[in-house]
Structure 1
Amino acid sequence: MIPPLVKTLKNKGNSVGMKAEQAWLILFLLHQPIPNHPSLSIFRLEENRLSDSCTEDLAFAVNTKWSLKDLNLSNNKLGDTAVRLLSVALRNQECKIQKLGLADACLTGSCAEVLVSILDTNQSLTDLNLSSNKLGDSGVKLLCGALRKPDCKIQKLGLSAVSLTASCAEDLASTLHANSALTVLNLSYNKLGDSGMKLLSKALRNPDCKIQRLQLCDTGFSALSIQHLASALSTNESLIELDLGHNKVCDAGVKHLSEALKDQDWKIQKLRLDDTCLTDSCINDLVSALGTNRSVTELNLESNSFTDQSIPKLQKLIINCSSLDRIELWKNRFSSTGENRLKSLQGIRRGLSVVLTSC
């Protein structure tokens, strides 16, 4: 007996891989019309040790289930061949998939042209995650060509850890300039460096750039880049989340960033500066800037080198920045007494979290 069809079908994290009979059942449910049941709209098969051997059946199912909106095949060993087979279904004009997850799916730059063909023809796709694949500069340059086209509807794009360097920064920058639909971009864990950041910062200054969430964790830039970024932030009115973690921002970089933070028009709500080589020497600049800021709700300063010397200033920051709901300070160099002084601020404002442990 076929179980009732549901709107969401999940089979995440099966450590031994999906059994054949289970896979056939899911595929049957995906394309079998059953009267008086809601349509399946979410199909998640991440972490199931799927390979390209099942892709033809999956593509057939996707090609016949037009109610499907969310397809997540991340963390499977699909490879480029699988994407080519799936692309037939994804290019179909009847395909209504809006969210496609292909992170860590063993893809390379060789499948970039296929991905481009999907972007060129699929008018429903708004959320695409390609993170943790070896696309490389050449593959992403091809993707950027499609992303710059006026008909491209992509709003969220995951390109974390896809083997990028500064060589593709100009293409990424021109995409930010041309694609006003793109609001969320993850470029973390790529080797963009200071030269790449300079080009991206220039794009952020453009009024046509509508990025709201930008993740740049561990992209290999230094304090030099923050000067260019701060200049961009002073004119950008759309950015509300910025992740600069695991870069060598240093105290000098925070000084540049603080000048932008003082701007009353700055809209940043969530700011990550974890593991960015900060010390007590930058705390005055940080507190001075955030003391007048009324937009920041989350601030991450974990894994830096702040000591008890910074605690009075941090207390002042937490008290005076009335918009602040969460501040993460764990893995700094506070004494147990210092940590207790910070923890004592936990209840001064409803909903305020002062985080000093990883749990």
Structure 2
Amino acid sequence: MLLKALYQNTVLNFLDLCYNQIDAEGGKVLTDFLYKNTTLVSLNLWSNHLGLEGGKAIADALCKNSTLTSLNLQANNLGPKGGKALADALCENSTLKDLNLNDNSIGSEGGKAIADALCKNSTLTSLDLYLNNLGSKGGKAIANALCKNSTLTSLNLNDNSIGSEGGKALAYALCKNSTLTILYLNSNKLGSEEGKLLADALCMNSTLTSLDLYYNKLGCEGGKALADALCKNSTLTSLNLIYNKIRSEGGKALANALCKNSTLTYLNLESNKLRSEGAKALADTLCKNSTLTFLNLNGNSIGSEGGKALADALCKNSTLKDLNIKY
């Protein structure tokens, strides 16, 4: 019934079919519709059990469709071959701008295929590869592609275990890339060395505005390196460092950096063992900084001294709008 209606409809722009158990056969049926449709610009197929065959069918459709600009294929078990099929489609398609492949287990092989496509595609601006088991090889391939691609502005690589090699490659890519503005690197097994390299990259990069490094064990040294970068970088506005064990020394370094930085508006330091010393340093900074609007210090055991210092700072600060200091 729905498909028949879609064929007859000539005005629909957005279609959300998430959680409908469409499966592979349904995906193939949708393909024929996408071949002929000239009005749909956004299609959401999140969690529909498409599998490899359904993914390949959608990929075939992308080779012929010239109106779709946003496609969500999150959680469809596409696998490496499905990733390759979509990569091939990206080499031919010239209208898609937003592609979500979150949670599809495309692996390093699928990642490398997508990376190759990014070297050829010139229209995609947003790519979500969260939770795809890319590993270091897939991470390095994507990083290398960023050195050549000039259209992608948002990239999500959260939870892909890209490790040290992938982290180093991405740091290098950030020194070369001049279009990416948002980069998510949550839970990727990056350590202090990768933190330092990313910090060095921030000193050279002038386009990135948001960097998310949640849960990467950057440590105190990584935290201090990022602090140094903030003294030189003038474009980053958002930095997420939740669960990175930067401790009080890293916290102090970041506090000092915020006295010089005038662009960062969002800083998340939740669960970093800052203790009272780190909190007091940040409190001093709040008396001087006039750009930060969001600060999360949850889970840092700042104690009564740290709490009092922050309270006193709030009497002087006139720009902070959101402060979190739970537990």
TM-based fold match above 0.5 = yes
Question: Which runs of 5 or more structure 2 residues have no equivalent in the other structure?
Answer: none
The whole-number CA distance in structure 2 between the counterparts of 1:60 and 1:137 is 29
Return the letter of the residue paired with 2:37: P
Correspondence 1:54-203 to 2 at 5 A: 54-92=54-92, 94-149=93-148, 151-203=149-201
Secondary structure in 2 matching 1:294: coil
Cα deviations by residue, 1:215-272 (Å, 9 ceiling, x for unpaired) = 0011111112122111111000010000000110111111111110111x43111100
CA spacing shift, 1:56–1:191, aligned 2, 3 Å: closer
The letter of the residue matching 1:226 is G
Q: 1:205 to 1:9 in 2, by over 3 A?
A: same
Q: How far apart, CA to CA, are the structure 1 residues paired with 2:94 and 2:105?
A: 24
Give, in whole Å, the separation in 2 of the partners of 1:231 and 1:311. Answer: 26
Matched to 2:178, the amino acid is: S
Secondary structure in 1 aligned to 2:139?
Answer: helix
**What residue identity is the alignment partner of 1:240?**
T
In structure 1, distance between residues paired with 2:184 and 2:23:
34
In proportion to residue count, which structure has more helix? Answer: 2
Q: Deviations over 1:16-57 (max 9, x none)?
A: x226786466444433336xxxx2111111222221121232
Matches for 1:261-340 after TM superposition, within 5 Å: 261-263=258-260, 265-330=261-326, 332=327
Give the aligned length: 321
Segments of 5+ residues of structure 1 without an aligned counterpart are: 333-359
Counterpart Cα distance in 2 of 1:117 and 1:305: 46
Letter in 2 for 1:173: A
Contact residue 189 and residue 217 of structure 2 kept, 8 A = yes
Supply the AA of the counterpart residue of 1:170.
K
Distance 1:57 1:168, change over 3 A: closer
Are 1:233 and 1:266, in contact at CA under 8 Å, matched by a contact in 2?
Answer: no
The amino acid that maps onto 1:71 is: L
- State the one-letter code of the partner of 1:84: K
Are the counterparts in 2 of residues 186 and 215 from structure 1 also a CA contact under 8 Å? yes
Q: Would you say the 8 A contact 1:176–1:209 is kept in 2?
A: no
Which digits, 9 at most, give the CA deviation of each residue in 1:59-97, with x for residues without a partner? 2322222111111111220011112222332211x5211
Letter in 2 for 1:246: Y
- Which residue type is aligned with residue 54 of structure 1? G
CA distance in 2, matches of 1:53, 1:21: 8
Q: 2:246 matched to 1:243?
A: no
Identical amino acids, percent of aligned pairs: 28
Tell me, what secondary structure is at the counterpart of 2:61?
helix
* CA distance in 1: counterparts of 2:218 and 2:89, whole angstroms: 40
1:175-222 C-alpha deviation (Å, 9 max, x unpaired): 00000111111111011101111111111111x442110000111111
Secondary structure of the structure 2 residue equivalent to 1:313? helix
Q: 1:354 is matched with which residue?
A: none
Moved more, 302-311 or 247-256: 302-311
State the shift of 1:302 in Å: 1.4
Q: Is the 8 A contact 1:76 1:106 kept in 2?
A: no
Instruction: Give the aligned partner of residue 223 of structure 1.
Output: 220
Aligned to 1:10: 16
Q: Contact 2:78–2:106 (CA<8 Å) still a contact in 1? A: yes
State the SS of the aligned residue for 2:161: coil
Partner amino acid, structure 2, of 1:6: L
The residue identity in structure 2 corresponding to 1:145 is N
Classify 1:155/1:292 alpha carbon distance in 2 versus 1 (closer, same or farther; 3 Å): same
Q: For residues 317-353 of structure 1, give each alpha carbon's deviation from its aligned partner in whole angstroms, at most 9, with x where no partner exists.
A: 33432221211222x1xxxxxxxxxxxxxxxxxxxxx
- Name the structure 2 match of 1:357: none
Equivalents in 2 of 1:146, 1:19: separation in Å? 32
How far apart, CA to CA, are the structure 2 residues paired with 1:85 and 1:128? 16
Residue identity matched to 1:247 = N
Find out whether 1:32 has 2:36 as its counterpart.
Answer: yes
Greater shift, 267-276 or 82-91, is seen at: 82-91
